[in-house]
Amino acid sequence: MADKYKIQGGNQLKGEVLIGGAKNSVLKLMASAVLAKGETKIYNVPELTDVGIMLEVINGLGVKTYHNKEEKSVTIDATDITSITAQYEYVSKMRASFIILGALVSRCKEAIVALPGGCAIGERRVDFHIKGLESLGAKIKIENGYVHAKAAKLVGTDIYLDIPSVGATENLMLASILAEGSTRIQNAAQEPEIIDLANFLNTMGADVVGAGTSEIVINGVKQDDLHPIEYTTIPDRIEAGTFMSAVAGTRGKAIIRNVYPAHLTFFTDKLIKMGANIKLIEPTAIEVSCKNRMNSVNFVTQPYPGFPTDLQSMAMVLLSMANGVGIITESLYENRFMQVQHLLRMGADIHQDRNHAIIKGVKRLTGATVAASDLRAGASLVVAGLMANGTTIVENLHHVDRGYERFDEKLRALGGNIIRYNDESANEELRVPNESRL
C-alpha cells in the first residue's frame, strides 16, 4: 500500500528541530569514497531512499558497504572494485548516482554507467559531463542506454562549462583527481556541496583548489597518495529552508539546529523582507518566527549563491497566502512548477506563463487531496497543508522520502498535525491535539 500524509492544518509550529546531513552532498561523498583503497567512513548520513540507492550502486561495483542507521554513518570499503558497471536498475532512479562515472574512470580508467534518472523537473542533459571527460582523454560511446568511458590515461586540461552545472562540476572533479598534470574547470558550480566534496577529496589526499569560486583547479595525484578517511557531511540547507518556510508560514516560532546560516543568506534575506524574524542564536542555530501575515516579494532562481531552485516551491507556498502579488521566475528548469496545479486545488491564485508564476495572495488555503510530482514540490505541498484550513492528503510520498528524513516525525515534534498512513490505516486518528490555531 502506498503511504500518504494526512494533515490537519492551522497549527503554529513551535519548538526545536535538528537538520540532517545534506542529501546533495552525502551522495557525492559516497561515490567519491571508491577513489581510495581501504575503508572510508562518512558521518551525518540521513536515512533517505536516495542513500539506499547509492549504496546499491556502490555494492554493484563489488565494493563493501555498511550503513549504521543509529550512528547515522556509512562505511565504504573500496579495497577492491570487481565491476566497472553501474546498472540501469539503480542509476535510472536517481540522477546523483551518475557521479560514479567520474570516480570509476579516475580509478579504473574505464566505466559503464547507465544514463541517469530522478525527478522529472526538466531537461538535465549529460553533455557537459561527456565533453569534459573527452577533453581529459576519455573515449566515450553511448549505446543501449549506457555511457561507456575508457581512457588509457587521463591528462589534465582546461574545461569551460557553458552553464555552472553542479553534476558536471562534481563528475569532472572526480575524473581529474588522478589525471596527469592540472585540470582547470572554468564557470564551475559554486554550491556549498561542491566545497564539501573538495574538502572530502583533499582530506583523502587529493589537491583541489578554488572550490566555491567559478574556477576550480585540480592538481593530479597518484593512486597511492589517496587514503581512506573519516568525514562528517555538512547540514542540508534545503531541509533547513523547508523548515524555515513551515515555521514562518504557520506564524510559529522555532529554533532550527545544525544549520550553516551562510549557506542560506539569500533565502534568509527574502524571508526577512516578507516579514519573518530570523535570529542567529548560535553559530549553527537560528530562531525563526513570524507573527503576522507575510508580504509578497519577487523571486528569481539562480545558481548559487543566488536563490536556490530547490526552494522555489516553498517560496510559492508562502506567496500563496501573503499580502499582495509576487512573481517567481524559474530560470533553471522548465518543468519546476508542477506544484501549481495542486496549490490551485487548495485555493491558491496562481497564473503561470511559461517560466513565470504570478501569485496573488489569498486569505486562506483549504485542505485537498494532492500528489507529490517530485521531491521539492511534494515537500511544499506538505507545508501548504500545514498552513491550510481543513484536511490535506498528500500522496506519492516516495518522492518526499528521497530527500526528507522522518519528515512527519520532525513536524509532529513542532506541533504539526500530521500522520503517515496507508489505506489499511485510513481511519487512524490524528495524534496531535488541534491547538495553537492560526
Mean pLDDT calculated for residue range 121-148 = 83
Opening angle at CA 143, ends 137 and 145, nearest 5: 110
Contact predicate 178/105, CB 8 Å: no
Q: Is the dihedral of CA 54, 172, 169, 374 positive or negative?
A: negative
User: Global pTM?
Assistant: 0.94
Strand partners, 362: none
- The domain made up of 23-232 has a fold known as UDP-n-acetylglucosamine1-carboxyvinyl-transferase; Chain (3.65.10)
Selecting among 53, 58, 119, 286, the annotated active-site residue is 119
Q: Is 119 noted as a catalytic residue in this protein?
A: yes
Residue 134 CA from chain centroid, whole number = 28
Residues 415, 436: Cα–Cα separation, whole Å: 9
- Do the first three CATH levels of 4-20+235-425 and 23-232 match, i.e. the same topology? yes
- CB-hemisphere CA count at 13 Å for 421? 15
pLDDT at 334 over 90: no
- The domain made up of 4-20+235-425 has a fold known as UDP-n-acetylglucosamine1-carboxyvinyl-transferase; Chain (3.65.10)
The C-alpha cell at 130 is 561527456
Percentage, residues of the chain above pLDDT 90: 86
Mean pLDDT calculated for residue range 150-167 = 95
Backbone region of residue 53 per phi and psi (left: phi > 0; alpha: psi in -120 to 50; beta: other values): alpha
What's the pLDDT score for residue 121? 34
Lowest mean pLDDT among 85-94, 206-215, 291-300, 353-362: 85-94
Residues 405, 408: Cα–Cα separation, whole Å: 9
Buried b (16+ CB within 10 A) or exposed e, 395-413: bbbebbbbbbbebbebbbb
Cβ atoms < 10 Å from Cβ of 426: 11
Q: Where are the domains of the chain?
A: 4-20+235-425, 23-232
Mean pLDDT calculated for residue range 50-68 = 96
β-bridge pairing 253-257 and 285-289: antiparallel
What's the pLDDT score for residue 335? 72
β-bridge pairing 85-86 and 73-77: unpaired
